[in-house]
Amino acid sequence: MRIPAHSVCTAIRDDIVAGVHARGGRLTEEVLARRYGVSRVPVREALRTLEAEGFVVTRRHAGACVAEPTEQEAADLLEMRLLLEPLGAARAAQRRTDAHLKVLRGLVRLGQERAGRGAGGDLRPLGGWFHDTLAQACGSPSLASTLVRTRHKITWMFAVRPALNPAQSWAEHGAIVDAVARGDGERARALTAAHTQRTAAAHQLRPARLTEPAARVRDAQRAVNTPDSRN
Q: Which domains does the chain have, with CATH numbers?
A: 5-68+208-219 (1.10.10.10), 71-205 (1.20.120.530)
59 three-state secondary structure: strand
Q: What's the pLDDT at 231?
A: 34
Q: What's the pLDDT at 208?
A: 63
Q: What's the pLDDT at 121?
A: 64
Q: What's the pLDDT at 144?
A: 96
Question: 154-185, pLDDT tens digit by residue?
Answer: 989 998 877 668 899 999 999 999 999 999 99
Q: What's the pLDDT at 23?
A: 92
The residues of the chain scoring below 70 in pLDDT are: 1-3, 119-121, 163-164, 208-223, 225-231
Q: What's the pLDDT at 226?
A: 46
Q: What's the pLDDT at 223?
A: 65
Q: What's the pLDDT at 202?
A: 84
Which strand (E) or helix (H) includes residue 13? Answer: helix 5-18
Question: 202-228, pLDDT tens digit by residue?
Answer: 888 887 654 444 445 555 666 675 443
Query: Which among 227, 230, 225 is positioned nearest to 37, based on CA atoms?
Result: 225
